[in-house]
Amino acid sequence: MTYFDKVLASVCLVIFIGLLFIGLWPLDFSPANEVWWLKDGNGLHFHGNGIAPRSSAGGISFTPNPLASPHQDLAEKGAVSIEIWLRPAVEPKSGRSRILSFSDDTKKETLFIDQWKSYLLIFTRVLDCGVQKRYREIGVSKALIRGKSQFVTITSGKNGTAIYLEGKLVKRFPKARLIPASKSISGQTLLTGNSADAKHSWAGDLFGLAVYDSSLSETQALHHFQQWTKSDNSPPPIQEGAIALYAFNERSGTWAHNSSGASNSLSIPHRLQFEKKILVPPDVSQMTKTSFIKDAIINVVGFIPFGFFLTLWLIRTRQWNQRYAYIVAIILGVLVSLTIELLQIYLPTRDSSLMDLFCNTFGAGIGAIINS
């Protein structure tokens, strides 16, 4: 083997290691769950998007088991109310941050609440016959101001959905229900501070949270606000219809206990726990967007040197004909890319993408053909 061939082999090895490094960065397969108890009062701090660096996936808390209602027979079908006492740390401009979400037994989100800038956004899944689930969006602006404590009440039932801030009605959506008329919020899993795949972390403080399997009147919304925010720092009394009520007054430990009488406590693990899907197909609706095209180009270009130098090395050192070398280079490109995509399942800041696998393979093929 000549000196040039040795250099060529070294270049191939460096490119291979570089692709693995870039594809798997930040190389943290068990990141810390960035959620802390507040030191100066009741509540949890989520160190998420806008505060934590881009390589961080933020924090998360969740109910390990689906929500159980202690009074299932009294539940109001098709009704749900959510009370959130929070203080945003930022007003995220790049992407939405997930404050909380509910998922069904198939682990698909049925209802989630996001922050974008100062907007409070509520998304509810629309059940249709399509392959992809679509979501209806409602919300209010200037509801989540950076550094300002806010008590949000969202209540939904047969008369639609209403949003209250500090106990005062700010907007009604008469035709929008957050859950179908025949369904209940009990039986679903609650998650706070992030999305299940740890891609939409929220930054801020959470002082209190309650979930009801019934709708609330305007009078109840105001009364609950007053009970939650009274100055003696004691948890509010249990209200009728509550299936989960978290005052976050433990101030230590890995659990936020539910005060409503059910077993629906929130887990706060030391290490971040998240759910990823393997080789997710591309979202057709996103394929014309600049960010999608840019990402596809990067994935193609990134594997061109791999295909080029590997094919050149095979032809020079193994005396293979070009066609055979092309095929081997492309197959190895598939295997390297597939390895990266499968390992990305265990990284919260990366996605296992079928489109990335295709683009990487295409790039390796272009690199191989350049040698002709």
Interval 163-186 mean pLDDT = 93
What's this model's pTM, rounded to 2 decimal places? 0.88
At the topology level, CATH places domain 35-267 in Jelly Rolls (2.60.120)
Q: Cite the residue boundaries of each domain of the chain with CATH code 2.60.120.200.
A: 35-267
Question: Roughly what angle, to the nearest 10 degrees, separates helices 3-24 and 290-318?
Answer: 150
The more confidently predicted of residues 182 and 154 is: 154
Which residue's structure tokens are 């943290």?
A: 28
Please give the Cα distance from 308 to 316 (Å, whole number).
12
325-333 long-range Cβ contacts below 8 angstroms, 24+ apart: 325/368, 325/371, 326/365, 326/368, 326/369, 326/371, 329/364, 329/365, 329/367, 329/368, 330/361, 330/364, 330/365, 330/368, 332/364, 333/303, 333/306, 333/307, 333/360, 333/361, 333/363, 333/364, 333/365
Mean pLDDT (whole number) for 347-361: 93
So what's the pLDDT on residue 230? 84
pLDDT value at 72 more than 80: no
Nearest residue to 114 (alpha-carbon basis) of 56, 191, 179 = 191
Per-residue pLDDT of 206-263, as tens digits, reads: 999 999 999 999 999 999 999 998 876 677 777 777 899 999 999 999 999 998 876 8
Q: Percent of the chain beyond pLDDT 90?
A: 67
DSSP-assigned states of every residue in 113-157: EEEETTEEEEEEEEP-SSSS-EEEEEEESS-S-TT--EEEEEEEE
* Mean pLDDT of all residues belonging to the chain: 90
Asked whether the predicted pLDDT for residue 128 surpasses 60, the reply is: no
Closest CA to 187 of 97, 66, 80, 37: 66
The tens digit of pLDDT for each residue in 74-109 reads 567 889 999 999 999 999 888 899 999 999 988 889
Q: Which residues contact 74 (CB under 8 A, 6 or more apart)?
A: 241
Length of the chain: 372
